[in-house]
Amino acid sequence: MVFDLDIFNNNIKYLMEREGIGSVTELAKKVRLQQSTLHRLLTGEVKDPKYTTLKALASYFQVSPIDLIERDLQAVPASSSQDMQSDLHALMLHTVPVLGNTQLGHSGYWSDMQYPVGTGDGFLRWPSCDRDVYALKCVGDSMMPRIKEGEFVIVEPNQNFHPGDEVLVVTSSGEVMVKTFLFKRDGYYHLLPVNEDHAPIRLPVEEVTQMQYVAGIAKSSLWHP
């Protein structure tokens, strides 16, 4: 992820105009950032901005952090109503199997089954475009506050993911975790823990056996036997 100050400033200016935001002070209040922090970022005083700061801005404008700093957002074509309708038609309410022999969380482990084949330890009802969608139950409190014990992570293995998306990561040692995908570079995956107070981590590509898109977090009340 390369921070391009000119692209970033142009995108912020465009997005502020689009949202009717008249000043950096107003933007800082809306995004809940310190005005001084935002000012240093826009003037280029900060050469390597924190991902959490970029994510706060990107989330407010509903764009990805990587697009915010590397892509001219004014050149991105808007989605057509026809595209939106086709996406809606593809979205179906699935009976999502829970992989009961896989644990998500501290000391969790991955089973030999890579994707569900219609069976599991109960199920959830969840809208998805992925016919192979499945769920994992979180055990322990290692992923709080983002994911609480007893909640379920919905995984869409056929969905592409992008920087800023949450992903399920399975390592060669069988460890199962949820991280925010940042980027892949020089043979490493750069990831952010679900608790963003913790520093980013990196994992060698050869140690990651699975990396799949996390579509959402489901409450335990949605589980059916």
Predicted pLDDT of residue 80 = 39
d(CA 165, CA 213): 7
Residues 95 and 63 in one domain: no
Q: Which two tokens stand for residue 13?
A: 């200016």
Domain region containing 109: 85-224
- Domain tally, the chain: 2
Say if residue 118 is in the same domain as residue 204: yes
Q: Is residue 215 part of a domain?
A: yes
Do 23 and 91 fall into the same domain? no
pLDDT computed for residue 110 by the predictor: 66
Q: Contact 136/98 with Cβ under 8 angstroms? A: yes
DSSP β-bridge partners for residue 123: 97, 224
CATH value at residue 71: 1.10.260.40
pLDDT at 213 (0 to 100): 93
Are residue 156 and residue 183 in the same domain, yes or no? yes
32 and 51 assigned to the same domain: yes
Tens of each residue's pLDDT in the chain, 225 residues: 567 889 999 999 999 999 999 999 999 999 988 888 899 899 888 887 888 888 889 888 888 888 888 888 887 654 433 443 444 445 567 788 888 766 676 566 666 544 444 556 789 988 888 888 899 888 777 677 778 888 999 999 988 888 888 999 989 888 888 889 999 999 999 998 877 667 788 999 999 999 999 999 999 888 988
Is 48 a domain residue? yes
Question: Looking at 43, 75, 107, which one is the last position of a domain?
Answer: 75
Same domain for 116 and 200, yes or no, is yes
Angle of CA points 23, 26, 29, to nearest 5°: 150
Residue 12, both tokens: 């912020």
Q: Is residue 80 one of the residues assigned to a domain? A: no
Boundary residue ending a domain (53, 75, 97): 75
Kindly state the tokens that stand for 28: 């800082």
First-last CA distance in the chain:
43
pLDDT on residue 78? 44
Our CA angle for 149, 150, 156, nearest 5°, is 105
**Residue 166 identity:** E
Residue ending a domain, choose from 46, 75, 104:
75
Q: Could you give the residue ranges of the DSSP H alpha helices within 44-172?
A: 51-61, 65-70, 81-90
CATH number, domain with residue 114 = 2.10.109.10
Maximum Cα–Cα distance across the chain: 56
Sole residue written with tokens 């949820």: 178
**Domain match, 99 and 195 both:** yes
Question: Which own/partner contact pairs does 48-53 have at CB distance under 8 Å and 24+ positions apart?
Answer: 48/3, 49/3, 51/1, 51/182, 51/192, 51/196, 51/200, 52/196
Looking at the fold, whether 36 and 116 belong to one and the same domain comes out as: no
66's tokens = 């990587």
